[in-house]
Amino acid sequence: MKVIYLDNNATTRTLPEVLQKMGPYFTDFYGNASSIHTFGGSNKHVIEKARAQVAALLNSDAEEIIFTSGGTEGDSTAIFSAVNSYPQKKHIITSAVEHPAVLEVCRFLASHGYRLDIIGVDEFGRFNMEQYKKALDEDTAIVTTMWANSETGTIFPIKEIAELAHAKGALFHTDAVQAAGKIPTDVKDINADFVSISSHKIHGPKGMGALYIKQGTRFMPFMRGGHQENLRRAGTENVPNIVGFGYAAEIALQHLPEYQTHVKPLRDLLEKELLKEIPDVKINGDVKNRLPNTLNMSFGYIEGESILMFLDEEGVCASSGSACTTGSLEPSHVLRAMGVPFQFAHGSIRFSLSRFTTLEEIQTVIKILPDIIARLRAISPFKKGL
Amino acid sequence: MWDYTDKVLDHFKNPRNVGIIENADGTGQVGSLICGDALKLTIKVNKETEVIEDIKFQTFGCASAIASSSVLTEMAKGKTLTEASKITNQDIANALGSLPEAKMHCSVMGMEALEAAIKSYRQGGKPVVFEQAQESKLICQCFNVTEETILKAIHANNLKTVEDVTHFTKAGGACGKCKGAIQEILNKVLACEIPQKKQEEKKPFSALTIVEKIKAIENVLNTEIKPQLNRDGGSIELVDLNGNIVTVRLLGGCAACIASQMTLKNFVGKTLQEKLDKNLEVKQA
Ligand SMILES: Cc1ncc(COP(=O)(O)O)c(C=O)c1O
Ligand code: FES
């Protein structure tokens, strides 16, 4: 069966040309970049080339980039570095809709004596700026809020958030894992101190990422040991992954405009047609300010996992904020923070497109989904009428 | 992705006995939109033989909720009310091959809906919403689960941990503030099973011998403090006791953690003071 992959916010396909570039660094040029011999040592240049490629995607200088094992490590590194570098400051701020890679770190610190403010969002998932302004004070070590939300695609006004943080002397970190490669990510423009990104969300290999550390920012490494990454991240460099990530970043930057010209129209078509074909549907997120590839919809009276399983039968991959899919018993914390009513939170489905998504694939979903919804609603005790 | 058996998938994709029986003799409901799953059963009963001649369901929920309801209708059909009322959640799960641990509550829901439908028949057909026994204490506010339901689940399924209880009843699965209460229920049940030595009269900490003191401290470390630190990837060991000064060493994740000083003072220190003696002081080795 042909797979229709609409779960690109979860992960993406590693591009064949990326894989091809990586291959020789497993088999032929496997030397350690820290070695004195030319065989290993020349891999240094390869790493530096990739660093420049990643820097270009973020519009930063190459020296401001360190390679990590992924978005999660970047998030941890940034937050722990900030609190460790300013030990007298005992307050951190984040938002209620962050990825667990940020939220759990903040909660960990909160359980170890830090004051934590978790800023809420409105029904469209928009950041509560007033609450944020009140929470900020001179004791704030770091503010960490994501650039774009993985579940709804909602984009935060991070430039403004960063400016307010700096005015109080706090550092600002943004998790740009979902934004990178989908919308322009100019870290100079937003003036962040830390920005984390992940390779597997931009068609690079998994287990790879980068952290941008603004020139002059106080920094403490998260991984200690060898002298790699200019003493900022110990561990023998994962050369094949670094090569792949660098190349994926370069390709992502080249193709960025396609998210507006190709992906967004397809997403909008999917949204429009589903709204037309299916009653009792609600869009989750800030439709005016959203990633071009993400569509999060709730279908009343039915539960998300059931929808996903029927979609899966047709080869369509998507995801859901329903409790049942995650193994936890509560629906998505993002939707709950937005005040999405329980019944709609349980019936939420996220479609996330890539630049490889085709019109034909979208038309298939538009064709099959109304039937699936009707079939499940026929079983549901809540659907009135029908 | 869940590991569903073919049986579960079959009942999910081709649910049997879907719908509502018009003029049903009994209607049972359980769950709600808020919980994320709900089931409505209607039954037609032969007044003479009390055999369930027809049964239909409607379910809001995941694949295993739909499959549990569907297989339940097959199991109950043709049985007398007495026979049917003996169907347990374990029977439902068995009929489906098996259910993932975290989905066992779906089978519990089936059992409860059937119980409600039978009660409805006995009461003349008015729909009955399954309710936890009224006089039983409400333990989990998030999912509205009472002590009795938890006890039943523990006994019927031989549950040992809070996590087990959450899988079977949902209690503890949301805010988690009821987890302590669930643990207490478990403790009581487990205590009944393993007869314990009667607790000795409690002497104040200061009156204990040095060996008893160390034992008492280690006991608090093991039961109250370590589990917490383990969650953060760390641990703790007792190094020394000198007067009221308890010297400990933080291990693993805690040792490297910059917040360790606060852990010591706020958490370890406070816990020891609360449990044993308010004059105790904690120092790092
Ligand atoms: C917003 C966000 N942050 C962090 C991560 C974690 O990234 P990684 O899987 O590379 O550790 C993800 C992806 O799951 C994400 O969506
Ligand atoms: S009260 Fe039980 S999970 Fe919240």
Indicate if B174 and B75 belong to the same structural domain: no
* pLDDT of residue B241 exceeding 90: no
Read off the pLDDT band of B154 (50, 70, 90).
confident
Q: Do B179 and B142 belong together in one domain?
A: yes
Known active-site residue A106: no
pLDDT of residue A240: 98
Task: Write out chain B in H/E/C secondary structure.
Answer: CCCCCHHHHHHHHCCCCECCCCCCCEEEEEEECCCCEEEEEEEEECCCCCEEEEEEEEEECCHHHHHHHHHHHHHHCCCEHHHHCCCCHHHHHHHCCCCCHHHHHHHHHHHHHHHHHHHHHHCCCCCEECCCCCCCCEEECCCCEEHHHHHHHHHHHCCCCHHHHHHHHCCCCCCCCCHHHHHHHHHHHHHHHCCCCCCCCCCCHHHCCHHHHHHHHHHHHHHHHHHHHHHCCEEEEEEEEECCEEEEEEEEHHHHCCCHHHHHHHHHHHHHHHHCCCCCEEEEC
**Chain A residues within 8 A of B257 when measuring between CB atoms:** 112
Mutate which of A150, A241, A294 to test ligand 1's pocket (most atoms within 8 Å of Cβ)?
A: A150
A342 with B34: Cβ contact below 8 A: yes
Ligand nearest to the CA of B177: 2
Q: Which of A201, A293, A319 to mutate to test the pocket of ligand 1 (most atoms within 8 A of CB)?
A: A201
Query: Given 3.30.465.10, 3.40.640.10, 3.30.565.10, 1.20.200.10, which CATH number is that of A16-255?
Result: 3.40.640.10
- Token output for A376: 């499940």
Evaluate whether A373 touches A307 at the Cβ level (below 8 Å).
yes
Q: Would the CB of A53 count as within 6 Å of ligand 1?
A: no
Question: Tokens standing for B183?
Answer: 């643990």
- Torsion angle, alpha carbons of A1, A296, A57, A17, to 10: 0
Q: Please indicate, yes or no, whether residues B16 and B120 belong to a single structural domain of this protein.
A: yes
Contacts of A253 (CB under 8 A, 6+ apart): A56, A57, A181
Q: What pLDDT is recorded for position B218? A: 82
d(CA A170, CA A92): 9
- Name every residue whose Cβ is closer than 8 Å to that of residue A99 and which is 6 or more positions away in sequence: A71, A75, A146, A150, A175, A177
Q: Which segments within chain A are labelled E, that is strand?
A: 4-5, 65-68, 91-95, 115-119, 140-144, 171-175, 194-198, 209-213, 281-283, 294-299, 316-317, 319-320, 348-352
Same domain, B13 and B122: yes
Please compute, for residue B102, the number of CA atoms within 13 A of its CA located in the half-sphere on the CB side.
Answer: 15
**Which B residues 120-179 touch A at CB under 8 Å?**
143, 166, 170, 173-174
Rg (CA), chain A: 22
Phi, psi of B248 (to 5 degrees): -130, 165
Topology adopted by domain A257-379: Aspartate Aminotransferase, domain 1 (3.90.1150)
Rounded to whole angstroms, the Cα distance separating A204 from A68 reads 13
pLDDT tens, residue by residue, A163-200: 999 999 999 999 999 999 999 999 999 999 999 999 99
Q: Which domain holds residue B190?
A: 138-198
Average model confidence (pLDDT) across chain B: 84
Q: Do B262 and A112 touch (CB under 8 A)?
A: yes
CA A308 – ligand 1 centroid, Å = 22
Spatial distance between the Cα atoms of A96 and A76, rounded to a whole number of angstroms = 17
For residue B37, being part of any structural domain is answered with yes
Instruction: Choose the residue to mutate in A98, A177, A199 for probing ligand 1, maximizing ligand atoms within 8 Å of C-beta.
Output: A177
- Which chain B residues touch A92 with a CB distance below 8 Å? none
Q: How far is the CA of B227 from the centre of ligand 2 (A)?
A: 20
Q: Which of A138-147, A363-372, B180-189, B247-256 has the lowest mean pLDDT?
A: B247-256
Instruction: Please tell me whether residues B217 and B174 are part of one structural domain.
Output: no
For residue B5, pLDDT over 90 is answered with yes
Inter-chain residue contact A381 with B39, CB threshold 8 Å? yes
Boundary of a domain, candidates B100, B129, B158 = B129
Express each pLDDT in B60-106 by its tens digit.
888 999 999 999 999 999 999 999 999 998 999 999 998 888 788 88
Query: Residue A109: closest CA among chain B residues belongs to which residue?
Result: B259
Most A CBs within 10 A among B3, B33, B58, B268, hence the mutation to make, goes to B33
DSSP character string of A196-240: EEEGGGTTS-SS-EEEEE-TT-----SS-SSSHHHHTS-S---HH
In a shared domain, residues B61 and B116: yes
CATH number of the domain that residue B178 is part of: 1.10.10.1100
Residue that is last in its domain, among B74, B109, B129? B129
Q: Is residue B156 part of a domain?
A: yes
CA distance B189 to B154: 8
Task: Please write the tens of the pLDDT for every residue from A216-274.
Answer: 999 999 999 999 999 999 999 999 999 999 999 999 999 999 999 999 999 999 999 99
Hey, what amino acid is at B222? N
Most confident region among A96-100, B61-65, B201-205 by mean pLDDT: A96-100
- CATH 3.40.640.10 domain span(s) along chain A: 16-255
* Structural domain ending residue among the three candidates B178, B198, B218: B198
CA distance B33 to A362: 30
Same domain, B12 and B91: yes
Q: How far apart are CA B113 and CA A295, in angstroms?
A: 36
Give the Cα separation of A372 and A350 in Å (integer).
Answer: 16
What's the confidence (pLDDT) of residue A20? 97
Look at residue A385 and tell me whether its pLDDT is greater than 60.
no
Phi then psi dihedrals of residue B190, to 5 deg = -65, -35
Same domain, B25 and B83: yes
> Where exactly does CATH 3.90.1150.10 map onto chain A?
257-379
Q: What is the mean pLDDT of residues B158-184?
A: 88
B253 and B278 co-located in one domain: yes
Q: Is there a domain that residue B1 lies in?
A: no
The CATH number of whichever domain residue B94 belongs to comes to: 3.90.1010.10
Contact A324 B62 (CB under 8 A): yes
Number of Cα atoms under 13 Å in the Cβ half of residue A193: 25
Name every residue whose Cβ is closer than 8 Å to that of residue A133 and which is 6 or more positions away in sequence: A164
Which residue in B36, B40, B64 is closest to A381 by CB distance?
Answer: B40
**Is the predicted ipTM greater than 0.90, yes or no?**
no
Per-residue pLDDT tens over the stretch A325-341: 555 667 788 998 998 88
Q: Work out the average pLDDT over A270-292.
A: 96
User: Per-residue confidence at B197, pLDDT binned at 50, 70, 90?
Assistant: very low
Q: How many CB atoms lie within 10 A of CB B124?
A: 8
In short, whether A175's Cβ falls inside 6 Å of ligand 1 is yes
pLDDT of residue A107 exceeding 70: yes
| Listed residue (B97, B100, B105, B102) closest to B6, CA to CA | B97
pLDDT digits (tens, 9 = 90+) for B178-189: 898 898 888 877
Total domains present in chain B = 3
Lowest mean pLDDT among A267-271, A369-373, B210-214, B217-221: B210-214
CB atoms within 10 A of CB B224: 15
Residues B14 and B94 in one domain: yes
pLDDT for A194-222, tens place per residue? 999 999 999 999 999 999 999 999 999 99
Q: Which residue has the higher pLDDT, B112 or B208?
A: B112
Tell whether pTM > 0.80.
no
Residue A344 pLDDT level (bands cut at 50, 70, 90):
confident
> Do residue B20 and residue B110 come from a single domain?
yes
Beta strand extents in A17-139 (DSSP E only):
65-68, 91-95, 115-119
Q: Which residues of B165-183 are buried (b: 16+ CB within 10 A; e: fewer)?
A: bbbbbbbbbbeeebbebbe
CB-based contact (8 Å) between B101 and chain A?
Answer: no
- The helix (run of H) or strand (run of E) holding residue A84 is helix A71-85
Query: Would the CB atoms of B36 and A112 count as touching at under 8 Å?
Result: no
CA A65 to CA A56: how far, in whole Å?
10
Same domain as B250, residue B157: no
Of A238-242, B27-31, B59-63, B191-195, minimum mean pLDDT range? B191-195
